[in-house]
Homo-oligomer: A and B are copies of this chain.
Amino acid sequence: LLSCSSHGRLCASSTSITQRNNSSSAKLIVDHDQTTGVAVMHMQSPPVNSLSLDFLTEICITLEKLEMDKGCRGLIITSVPSAYVATMQIIVVVGNSSVNSQPKVFSAGLDILEMYGKSPEHCGEFWKAVQEMWLKLYGSNMVTIAAINGSSPAGGCLMSISCDYRIMADNPRYSIGLNETKLGIVAPFWFKDTMVNTVGHRNTEMSLELGLLYKPAEALKIGLVDQLVPEDQVLSAATQTMTNWLAIPEHARQITKSMMRKPTIEKLRSNREADIQNFVSFITKESIQKSLRMYMEMLKQKKA
């Protein structure tokens, strides 16, 4: 994969035969196959693809560009193999594992450092970017498939359930879920709505109250993911599934998707500013900042 100077897909295709446009920023490698109309967005923000303000901004810019590109009809989101991590920031793994078999991360979710010890203005700017990413992804006209090749807690789970379809590596060391409560913070209503739309009210209620992370088999059972495949087949399975989705008459599929998701999207769109204020006033509370500090210290200890 080529590395280019900006977010755009300005690079000449490296392999004109397959008509691919490869572009990348520091943290995002986009591989757009013009023949199939499918773009693969590889997240590569070491060590665990945490969703920082910068990373979210890159994702949003990429989503917008792909959305406006008539030649791009499908988007696969995945984590690059180099995102293998020797130390886990968010996910705590039990047991010993050699460096070669380190568990991988799809995305560890929102970057706590963007919410800890930051000004209200910064927290607000960060939250706006989280909203923007979700609005773009959940409301995308493209077919979106999450190729979940690693653990996917919190914001990583949100990205996954905002796609049209989820394929996860069948590795019991991985887990997925909205575990915000475990950190002492609260998933906002639109995280909740997205999850209710995916696994229903009761699963969401118990899941959010307990901050549950599900192993792949459990996630499949409740419908949090749609399909499990061996770890080395996640991307190929996603590509194959994409072919089936792209065979559907596009206009009808897009209208149908919009019908299903619009009410949920409108709930946030008409309340963005209030949602930001709500987040900022919550996250800047001393007690919540203390919770975040304790959580980060706990992670450091696990790491050591």
- Chain A residues with CB under 8 Å of chain B are 164-165, 180-187, 189, 192, 196-202, 204-206, 208-211, 223, 226, 244-245, 248-249, 251-253, 255-257, 259-261, 287, 291
Chain B residues lying within 8 Å of A260, measured Cβ to Cβ, are: 192, 201, 204-205, 208-209
Which residue of chain B has its CB nearest to the CB of A198? B202
Partner of A248, one of B209, B244, B252, B255: B209
User: B197 touching A202 by the CB < 8 A rule?
Assistant: yes
Chain B residues lying within 8 Å of A209, measured Cβ to Cβ, are: 164, 245, 248, 253, 256-257, 260
User: A248 touching B165 by the CB < 8 A rule?
Assistant: no
Knowing A209-B260, A210-B248, A256-B181 are in contact, say whether A196-B186 is a contact too (CB < 8 A): no
CB proximity of A24 to chain B, nearest CB, Å: 30
CB proximity of A42 to chain B, nearest CB, Å: 25
Chain B residues lying within 8 Å of A192, measured Cβ to Cβ, are: 259-260
Q: What is the bound-complex CA distance between A223 and B256, given in angstroms?
A: 21
Q: What is the bound-complex CA distance between A211 and B187, given in angstroms?
A: 32
Chain B residues lying within 8 Å of A208, measured Cβ to Cβ, are: 256, 259-260
Chain B residues lying within 8 Å of A198, measured Cβ to Cβ, are: 201-202
Q: What is the bound-complex CA distance between A181 and B180, given in angstroms?
A: 37
CB proximity of A257 to chain B, nearest CB, Å: 6
Q: What is the bound-complex CA distance between A98 and B199, given in angstroms?
A: 43
Q: What is the bound-complex CA distance between A211 and B249, given in angstroms?
A: 10
CB proximity of A271 to chain B, nearest CB, Å: 14
Which residue of chain B has its CB nearest to the CB of A200? B200
User: B245 touching A210 by the CB < 8 A rule?
Assistant: yes
User: B200 touching A249 by the CB < 8 A rule?
Assistant: no
10 interchain residue pairs of minimum CB distance:
A184-B249, A181-B252, A205-B260, A197-B201, A186-B255, A208-B256, A184-B252, A186-B252, A209-B256, A209-B253
Which residue of chain B has its CB nearest to the CB of A197? B201
User: 18 additional contacts, CB 8 Å, given A208-B259, A209-B245, A249-B291?
Assistant: A181-B252, A181-B253, A182-B249, A183-B252, A185-B252, A186-B259, A189-B259, A192-B260, A196-B201, A197-B202, A198-B201, A199-B202, A200-B200, A200-B201, A209-B253, A209-B256, A210-B244, A210-B248
